[in-house]
Amino acid sequence: MIACLVAFKRKFPGLYHGVEDVNGLLFRLLHGRLPEVADDVLAGQTEGGASFSRIVSADLPALERFLLSQPADNLRWFSPHAFDAKTLHRLYRNPSFLMMKVTAPDGVMAGYFFLRCFFIGRAFAGLIVDKRYQNRGIGARIWACCAAICAKAGLKMQATISPENLPSVHSCRKGTEITQVTNLDNGYLAVDCQPRKQVA
């Protein structure tokens, strides 16, 4: 399914937007509690002094600045959508696209992550952490938060990761239980993720 979605999005981007709108309406009907579930999971989450929360409309200008300010090498593996204000507002209005942020102790946005959800009960996770705040465990905590949100909301969490993006592979394995790995035609790995089992 992942390979089909990726191929469809790349080949028919305009049509895909229409599909996203319909999916958003259906998702709201079937999984309308997702924002509340996310708020419950993210409340009190911290890592390396940073906090985690859902993005609200007032955050969108800061999110645009954050994404556009990232150096090219930090965006090499991260291109889930355009970073302009129009795109961010469109995604924010879609009930099936859950946008979240990492906030540094000084109030600066240090990371962005999301769940792109589908009404059939699947969710794809994506994330980026500012280079100044990498290697502090933030990426692993993001993965863990996404897995916890999906589990609590009754969604199957998936992601696509390049095997060359070793920090992302490592943080995903650290933050979640990877239950399946599939090789995609573009060289990426498609992974299914679940919350890590608690050690008794």
**Domain count for the chain:** 1
Average pLDDT over residues 176-200: 84
Global pTM value: 0.90
Whether residue 145 has pLDDT greater than 80: yes
Q: How high is the pLDDT of residue 13? A: 66
DSSP 8-class letter at 70: S
pLDDT digits (tens, 9 = 90+) for 166-184: 999 999 999 999 988 888 8
Average pLDDT over residues 86-93: 96
Q: Which alpha helices (DSSP H) does the chain contain, by range?
A: 2-11, 13-31, 34-42, 60-69, 85-93, 138-153, 166-175
Looking up residue 8, the CATH number of its domain turns out to be 3.40.630.30
Whether residue 82 has pLDDT greater than 90: yes
**Torsion sign (Cα): 52, 131, 63, 1:** negative
DSSP assignment of 97-128: EEEEEEE-TTS-EEEEEEEEEETTTEEEEEEE
More confident residue, 3 or 54: 54
Domain of residue 125, residue span: 2-195
Range scoring the smallest mean pLDDT among 5-19, 54-68, 125-139, 154-168 = 5-19
Cα separation values, 171 from 161, 174, 178, Å: 11, 5, 11
> 199 pLDDT band (50/70/90 cuts)?
very low
Phi, psi of 95 (to 5 degrees): -60, -20
Is 200 inside any structural domain? no
Q: How high is the pLDDT of residue 71? A: 95
**Which of 182, 177, 192 is closest to 121 using CA atoms?**
192
Whether residue 187 has pLDDT greater than 80: yes
Average of per-residue pLDDT values in the chain: 91
Average pLDDT over residues 29-57: 95
Q: How high is the pLDDT of residue 9? A: 62
Residues 42 and 30: their CA atoms lie apart, in Å, by 22
Average pLDDT over residues 44-55: 94
Q: How many other C-beta atoms can be found within 10 angstroms of the C-beta atom of residue 174? A: 14
Q: Which two tokens stand for residue 36?
A: 């509340």
Is 92 inside any structural domain? yes
Buried b / exposed e over 27-61, threshold 16 CB at 10 Å, is: beeebeebeebbeebbeebebeebbbebbeeebbe
